[in-house]
Amino acid sequence: MDEGRLDGSWEVTIRLRMSEHDAHYGGRLVDGARMLGLFGDVATELLIRHDGDEGLFVAYDCVEFKAPVYAGDYIEAKGRITKVGRTSRRMEFVAMKVIEANIDPAVPSAANALDPPVLVTYASGTCVVPLDKQRIDH
């Protein structure tokens, strides 16, 4: 996992391979909810780094699924805090496909690095960290 501050906001990135276990639909298609699970993990890390507590995810206000994800694809999920309130933390997330599994049964081990990566999901939402749980002074 990478972390850092860009333009005064915290950003976190995780990258992982979608497994056969993640495939939920025919044709090895991964459920879009899997991307939201990744965003939840990114949000948790952002809150820990920013506040010293896991906090709570209150709501997504936007979720857009842009492209399919299949078992074998590598997904990079990024999130950043875009606004900090007294207890609320506004966040934006993207999931990018950086490696695409080859779906040709004749060459099952082949894969393609994508340059540029493909946007598969965008989301934004709000998390909260109660004042009594905030352990890092800003």
Q: List the CATH number of the domain containing 118.
A: 3.10.129.10
- Is the pLDDT score of 24 beyond 60? yes
The whole-number pLDDT of residue 2 equals: 41
CA 94, CA 134: separation in Å to the nearest integer? 26
The mean pLDDT of the chain is 92
Read off the pLDDT of each residue in 33-40 and give the average, rounded to a whole number.
98
Lowest-confidence segment of 4-13, 42-51, 75-84 by average pLDDT:
4-13
| Owning domain of residue 61 | 2-133
pLDDT tens, residue by residue, 68-107: 999 999 999 999 999 999 999 999 999 999 999 987 789 8
- Is the pLDDT score of 9 beyond 90? no
Give the chain's domain count: 1
The whole-number pLDDT of residue 10 equals: 77
Answer whether residue 99 is part of any domain. Answer: yes
Answer whether residue 8 is part of any domain. Answer: yes
Answer whether residue 32 is part of any domain. Answer: yes
In this prediction, what percent of the chain has a pLDDT beyond 70? 93
Read off the pLDDT of each residue in 112-131 and give the average, rounded to a whole number.
98
Answer whether residue 138 is part of any domain. Answer: no
Residue 113 burial by CB count (10 A; 0-12/13-18/19+): exposed, middle or buried?
A: exposed
- Is the pLDDT score of 7 beyond 50? no
- Is the pLDDT score of 40 beyond 50? yes
Tell me if 46 sits within 8 A of 79, measured CB to CB: yes
SS3 readout for the chain: CEEEEECCEEEEEEEEECCHHHEEEHHHEECCHHHHHHHHHHHHHHHHHHHCCCCEEEEEEEEEECCCCECCCEEEEEEEEEEECCCEEEEEEEEEEEEEECCCCCCCCCEEEEEEEEEEEEEEEEEECCHHHCCCCC
Answer whether residue 71 is part of any domain. Answer: yes
